A and B are shown apart, each in its own frame.
Chain A
Amino acid sequence: MKNYKRSQNIAFFCLFLATLLIVIPVGLIIVIIIQKGLPAINWQFLTDIPRQGMRGGGIFPAILGTLYLVLGAIIFALPIGLLAAIYLSEYSKENFLNRMVKLAIVNLAGVPSVVYGLFGLALFVIFFKFGASILSGSLTLGIMILPLIITASREALESVPQSFREVSLSLGASKWQTIRHIVLPNAIPGILTGTILGLGRAAGETAPILFTVAAFYLPQLPHSIFDQVMALPYHLYVISTQVPNVDEKIRYGTALVLLVLVLFMNLVAIIIRYKFRKKKKW
């Protein structure tokens, strides 16, 4: 008996160690970036254009560019994603077509990000002649985050109890009225969580925007959706590998701004989900 107990303790200790091996590096990465990046952050860094061949000045055009791209991606992906989720949770039956749709979503989520970049280049930039522009980049990012939004929204819709629907239908409401007034309002926190996670994902991706929108160096702000823009993740890539002698502080500062932007969105999503779970009445 003692032997069993001892081997259990050893096993549990190993599992605990493995967990630490993941958690500690994550903590270290975040602490290092905050510690070395914080001194670079000031008002000028956040609001000025890059100067001296990106070795000085600020990163405002890159921040703004990323915000435009993320906004464009969500304007495209949210309506389609939400309607697709409604289809899956409310209309589709367990048949071959439904199975194919689910498989397509899984595959869309698994396509490598750089392949999205190629696709965006071939379809939007060249075939539709949008050129390297905010429009091309947003659409590419939008398709990339579509599976994330569909999956999250579908889960939210499906977690609304069946009895809610039955009561509404029994009162004479049509199927769409039931969805519109009963199911959707109860699913909003979940949909919101998925949307915010999608925003965070779109903000951090580099490969899909490489050939569809991102400008190497463009110290001015865009005038229309057909302009190129700088973007934070690409800017970080450029100043850490393509431009020699960039002050370390600026690199860490840029990494910090990007990290804060993405983690902030994830944190908001986690908090919404947590609060909602506590408040849930069913």
Chain B
Amino acid sequence: MRKFKEFIIEKLILICGLASIFFVFLIFLFLLKEGLALFKIITPLNFLMGKSWYPISEPPQLGILPLILGSLLVTLGAAIISIPIGVACAIYVSEIAPQRIKEVLKAGIELLAAIPSVVLGFIGMVTLVPWVKSMFGLPTGLTALSGSIMLAFMAMPTIVSIAEDALYSVPKTYKEGAFALGATHWQTIWRVMLPAASSGILAAVMLGIGRVIGETMAVMMITGNAAVIPHSFLQPVRTLTATIAAEMGEAVVGSEHYFALFAVGIVLFVISFAINVTADLFLHKRK
């Protein structure tokens, strides 16, 4: 009897263990199921490269190039801000900060990661957006720049914690060797620690960027949501994620618009899949 009970439990454990694979497939399957119907109406190339997104005009124009460029622009801005600051902070936390301050900083960064994106979006709306507007003398502060700044803050916790892990796991002997040769602490960090941790830091940067591309609420609240091809950081843009979030509520189930939004979901899924698999390869290389 006990044998039988344990047999059942162990099978259950195996099933749950494989559940993650099942869910990833399920997500992809259902995105495809709803999204692929679009390509009976429009070719994938026209969908990805089409320059105008007017989903409710007659006939609907479903080109997502403006949305892709919007996402890329906001992500680029966020990366420029968050990568140097994030990596620098990781070095400070792992190498320089005294033990006590280190604990406090790590807790603080964890708190930043925990702030819901809708709260960051709200704070961005009431503080950052008016500031950007008056600083650059713009008609509206809802711009790609505002989005980039806010998103940088959402990428930083990811970058800092993973890069810090990477630095921490560099063998102590590397550091001792450099010190023994008379290198200063900074020379050791710059010439020994950073190169040794480089693949982990690269993974940290990629996962941070992945977080930014997938971010939805804060972006929707502060980038202005204009679906036009962007030319500068100081104009409103609309991202892939914000388009889904803003329009799915109004799209009629089974309409071309509905299929198109699922197709945008497929694009996002494929991007995040590529980023995560590559980052995982880098992290494994380190071990």
Interface of A toward B, CB cutoff 8 Å? 4-5, 7-8, 11-12, 14-16, 18-19, 21-23, 25-27, 29-30, 32-33, 79-81, 83-84, 86-88, 91-92, 97, 100-119, 121-123, 126-127, 143, 146-147, 150, 174-176, 197, 200-201, 203-207, 210-211, 233-234, 236-237, 240-241, 248, 251, 255, 258-259, 262-263, 266, 270
Chain B residues 78 to 97 lying within 8 A of chain A, measured CB to CB, are 84-86, 88-89, 91-93, 96-97
Whether, in the assembled complex, B217 has its beta carbon less than 8 Å from a beta carbon of chain A, the answer is: yes
A110/B119 in contact, CB under 8 A: no
Q: Which residues from chain A contact B272 at a C-beta distance below 8 Å?
A: 107, 110-112, 115
**Cα-based distance from A8 to B18 in the complex (angstroms):** 50
Q: When the two chains form the complex, which single residue of A15, A236, A270 contacts B122, counting CB atoms closer than 8 Å?
A: A236
**Cα-based distance from A262 to B114 in the complex (angstroms):** 7
Contacts A110-B272, A270-B110; A16 near B92 (Cβ below 8 A): yes
Apart from A110-B214, A176-B9, A204-B118: 15 A-B pairs, beta carbons within 8 A: A8-B187, A12-B186, A19-B92, A19-B105, A21-B85, A22-B153, A23-B105, A101-B17, A112-B214, A116-B27, A204-B114, A205-B116, A210-B248, A237-B217, A259-B116
Chain B residues 239 to 287 lying within 8 A of chain A, measured CB to CB, are 241, 244-245, 248-249, 253, 261-262, 265, 268-269, 272-273, 275-277, 279-280
Whether, in the assembled complex, B138 has its beta carbon less than 8 Å from a beta carbon of chain A, the answer is: no
Some 12 contacts from A to B, beta carbons below 8 A apart, are A8-B187, A22-B112, A26-B153, A33-B119, A103-B280, A104-B23, A112-B214, A118-B248, A176-B10, A207-B217, A234-B118, A236-B118
B109/A101 in contact, CB under 8 A: no
Q: When the two chains form the complex, which single residue of A21, A83, A266 contacts B110, counting CB atoms closer than 8 Å?
A: A266
**Cα-based distance from A22 to B127 in the complex (angstroms):** 16
A87/B14 in contact, CB under 8 A: yes
**Cα-based distance from A81 to B97 in the complex (angstroms):** 35
Q: When the two chains form the complex, which single residue of A18, A91, A210 contacts B10, counting CB atoms closer than 8 Å?
A: A91
Chain B residues 111 to 125 lying within 8 A of chain A, measured CB to CB, are 111-112, 114-123, 125
Q: Which residues from chain B contact A263 at a C-beta distance below 8 Å?
A: 111, 114-115
Interface of B toward A, CB cutoff 8 Å? 2, 6, 9-10, 12-21, 23-24, 26-27, 30-31, 33-34, 84-86, 88-89, 91-93, 96-97, 105, 107-112, 114-123, 125-127, 153, 156, 160, 184-187, 189-190, 207, 210, 213-217, 221, 241, 244-245, 248-249, 253, 261-262, 265, 268-269, 272-273, 275-277, 279-280
Q: When the two chains form the complex, which single residue of A11, A92, A97 contacts B186, counting CB atoms closer than 8 Å?
A: A11
Q: Which residues from chain B contact A88 at a C-beta distance below 8 Å?
A: 17
**Cα-based distance from A119 to B248 in the complex (angstroms):** 12
Q: Which residues from chain A contact B30 at a C-beta distance below 8 Å?
A: 119, 122-123, 127
Contacts A8-B186, A19-B105, A206-B117; A122 near B34 (Cβ below 8 A): yes
**Cα-based distance from A210 to B279 in the complex (angstroms):** 29
Q: Which residues from chain A contact B275 at a C-beta distance below 8 Å?
A: 110
Cβ of A1 to closest chain B Cβ, rounded Å: 9
Q: Which residues from chain B contact A79 at a C-beta distance below 8 Å?
A: 16
A110/B210 in contact, CB under 8 A: yes
**Cα-based distance from A213 to B217 in the complex (angstroms):** 16
Cβ of B122 to closest chain A Cβ, rounded Å: 5
Contacts A15-B88, A262-B116; A211 near B248 (Cβ below 8 A): yes
B245/A210 in contact, CB under 8 A: yes
Q: Which residues from chain B contact A7 at a C-beta distance below 8 Å?
A: 186
Q: Which of B2, B21, B33 has the most CB of A within 10 A?
A: B21
**Cα-based distance from A69 to B186 in the complex (angstroms):** 49
Q: Which of A32, A79, A111, A147 has the most CB of B within 10 A?
A: A111
Q: Which residues from chain A contact B185 at a C-beta distance below 8 Å?
A: 8
A266/B20 in contact, CB under 8 A: no
Cβ of A136 to closest chain B Cβ, rounded Å: 13
8 closest residue pairs by CB, A with B: A87-B17, A112-B214, A204-B116, A18-B88, A83-B16, A8-B186, A110-B276, A104-B20
B184/A115 in contact, CB under 8 A: no
B253/A126 in contact, CB under 8 A: yes
B253/A266 in contact, CB under 8 A: no
A174/B33 in contact, CB under 8 A: no
In the complex, what residue of chain A is closest to B243 when comparing beta carbons? A114
B123/A84 in contact, CB under 8 A: no
A266/B114 in contact, CB under 8 A: yes
Cβ of A192 to closest chain B Cβ, rounded Å: 16
